Amino acid sequence: MDPTLRARLQRIVGPTHVIHDPETRASYETDWTRRFSGTAAFVVRPADTSQVARVLQCCREAGVPLVPQGGNTGLVGGSVPRSGEGVLSLRRLDTIEDFDPVAGEVTVGAGVTLERLQQHVRPAGWDVGVDLASRASATIGGMVATNAGGVRVIRYGPMRHQLIGLEAVLADGAILSRLPGLLKDNTGYDLPGLLAGSEGTLAVITRVRLRLIPNRPARAVALIGLPSVAAALEIVRAVRAAAPTLEAAEVFFPEGLALVLRHTGLRAPFARPYPCYLLLECAGATDPAPALAALLEPLVDPAAALLATDRPDRDRLWAYRERHTEAISAEGIPHKLDVTLPIGRLAQFEREVRSHLAALAPSARPILFGHAGDGNLHVNLLGLPPDDETADDAVLRLVASLGGSISAEHGIGIAKKPWLHLTRSPADLHAMQAIKRALDPAGILNPGVIFDLDHTAPAPDHLP
Ligand code: FAD
Ligand code: MLT
Ligand code: ZN
């Protein structure tokens, strides 16, 4: 690391927060999947917005790019260095400030974890609209930067929908502040909305103002064994139409369940296996179980259905679904393809993706699961070398041919970059690249994520 830059960074954040020894750097250099890693020039850990701004100014002057990093739970390789960038860790920005229990709004530092925020607001009757299994480590800043989805999107939408305002540092160190978070505020472009899902490529998010949802502790979870995805979607349709309390509609399959049982020691939920499993959760001010049971009664075989209302029983049913990610990773390093389909084509996709893979990439071992209610399936492929993308290509082309998206909720990162053109037109790509050039002309924020841009070349003046 350049000694002048090191001394300048140490003056800004303090000597202990510029990390350069390889052992301490290691956990910042490899992502959660273990598929993506690179050597960082250094890790810098600012404590507040003004330190973030000064770090950015310094690194820009030194021509050293930065990879913003929150909890490092991202699954597309966007949170770790590729070729000697510095890692800008936002985890020390961990203050929960200005919680307004009357309005149901809160302002938090980017480094606050989802779990800590949940624990902070729930006793006061509020909750965070987005929930996901990585809650203990995922940060609110990272969740905004990826526009995280999770298990409640059918009721509350993704992270962008929870956002009332934010504060961010631009590539030149200027601070963008949209924190008052007025519910009605049509003054120019929606920059917070643009930064949601920008994966650290346009600005560094330092504080976030969120709209909260009422905490609904009265919950019921059903786990149902079914013959097919089509049968699962039919139940989702019926419950959704009749139960406004429906919050989650998740699916998984026998091959994923087998891995979860093997790696967690849980017992099988039913006496026999089923081709498809559907997990539903309803939440209301009063116990939603009787209404859910009445809705399911004519639709499901009682031997293939479990209903839980107490917290430990609900958690046990959720574990079959939520522990897929860790069970798959315990088995090997997967290629993770997070895709959405129009809901009417989800069943067709699930059938065809298996037959395409069997024909084109027989060594790939597909493990599917996901958020059936919003058409989002996670296609995990085990048994492939990290760099063999034949199977990824087959899956993503099938998704595009069926009118879906190659990234539902995890983002593009570096993992999906080669296929961005499948679901974004040349005009769309051109507009996104123009925004990147305008906000980060020197290319110091997460270069190589979403797309590759040659910052030394003049911007094209016509569409490709
Ligand atoms: P990181 O992994 O550190 O970073 C992710 C991206 O955001 C990177 O591109 C990084 O550069 C950028 N970034 C991070 N912080 C900032 C910041 N302050 N400013 C600007 N850019 C920033 N995702 C879902 O959407 N739904 C799920 O259901 C879900 N479940 C998961 C379950 C498990 C077990 C795991 C391991 C992951 C899961 N994820 C899920 C993926 C991941 O948790 C989310 O993408 C999460 O939003 C990432 O947050 P993070 O703080 O870990 O960000
Ligand atoms: C999930 O829904 O559990 C996640 O998005 C994580 C994953 O895809 O592995
Ligand atoms: Zn998911």
Domain boundaries, the chain: 3-89, 96-214, 218-325, 333-422
Measure the CA–CA gap between 35 and 446, rounded to whole angstroms. Answer: 18
Average the pLDDT over 37-57 and give the result.
98
Q: 3-class DSSP state for residue 382?
A: strand
CA angle 312, 316, 321 (to 5 degrees): 140
Q: Is ligand 1 within 6 A of the CB of residue 145? A: yes
Distance 77 CA to ligand 1 centre (A): 10
Query: What's this model's pTM, rounded to 2 decimal places?
Result: 0.97
Q: Is ligand 1 within 6 A of the CB of residue 450? A: no
pLDDT digits (tens, 9 = 90+) for 318-328: 999 999 999 99
Q: Is ligand 1 within 6 A of the CB of residue 250? A: no
Ligand with an atom nearest the CA of residue 168: 1
Give the torsion sign (CA, 150, 151, 157, 162): negative
Mutate to test the pocket of ligand 2, among 257, 340, 369, 376 (most ligand atoms within 8 A of CB): 369
Instruction: Tell me, yes or no, if the two domains 218-325 and 333-422 fold the same way.
Output: yes
pLDDT range class, residue 195, cuts 50, 70, 90 = very high
The pLDDT of residue 462 is above 60:
no
By C-alpha distance, which of 154, 46, 114, 29 is closest to 80? Answer: 29
CATH code that applies to domain 218-325:
3.30.70.2190
Ligand with an atom nearest the CA of residue 259: 2
Radius of gyration of the chain (CA): 22
Measure the CA–CA gap between 136 and 112, rounded to whole angstroms. Answer: 10
DSSP-assigned letter for residue 268: P
Average the pLDDT over 67-84 and give the result.
97
Distance 159 CA to ligand 3 centre (A): 13
Q: Is ligand 2 within 6 A of the CB of residue 131? A: no
Confidence (pLDDT) at 202:
98
The pLDDT of residue 460 is above 70:
no
Confidence (pLDDT) at 444:
97
pLDDT range class, residue 403, cuts 50, 70, 90 = very high
Ligand with an atom nearest the CA of residue 148: 1
Average the pLDDT over 166-184 and give the result.
91
Atom 43 of ligand 1: nearest residue by CA position:
73
Domain 3-89 class, CATH top level: alpha beta
By C-alpha distance, which of 235, 251, 239 is closest to 320? Answer: 251
Confidence (pLDDT) at 457:
67
pLDDT digits (tens, 9 = 90+) for 118-138: 999 999 999 999 999 999 999
pLDDT range class, residue 185, cuts 50, 70, 90 = confident
Measure the CA–CA gap between 374 and 405, rounded to whole angstroms. Answer: 12
CATH 3.60.15.10 fits 96-214, yes or no: no
Average the pLDDT over 206-212 and give the result.
97
pLDDT digits (tens, 9 = 90+) for 259-298: 999 999 999 999 999 999 999 999 999 999 999 999 999 9
**Residue 182 token pair:** 């007025």
pLDDT digits (tens, 9 = 90+) for 215-229: 999 999 999 999 999
* Percentage of residues in the chain having pLDDT higher than 90: 94
Confidence (pLDDT) at 67:
98
> What is the rounded average pLDDT for all residues in the chain?
96
Confidence (pLDDT) at 393:
97
The pLDDT of residue 455 is above 90:
no
Cα 263 from chain centre:
23
Ligand with an atom nearest the CA of residue 159: 1
The pLDDT of residue 464 is above 50:
no
Average the pLDDT over 362-377 and give the result.
97
Average the pLDDT over 198-221 and give the result.
97
Which atom number of ligand 2 is nearest to the Cα of residue 133?
3
Distance 225 CA to ligand 1 centre (A): 31
The pLDDT of residue 353 is above 90:
yes
Block residue for tokens 């961010």: 168
Q: Is ligand 1 within 6 A of the CB of residue 105? A: no
Confidence (pLDDT) at 458:
62
Average the pLDDT over 454-459 and give the result.
68
Inter-residue contact 293 to 307 (CB < 8 Å): yes
Cβ-Cβ contacts under 8 Å for 163 (sequence gap 6 or more): 144, 192, 193, 196, 208, 209, 210, 211
Q: Is ligand 1 within 6 A of the CB of residue 86? A: no
DSSP-assigned letter for residue 375: T
Domain 333-422 class, CATH top level: alpha beta
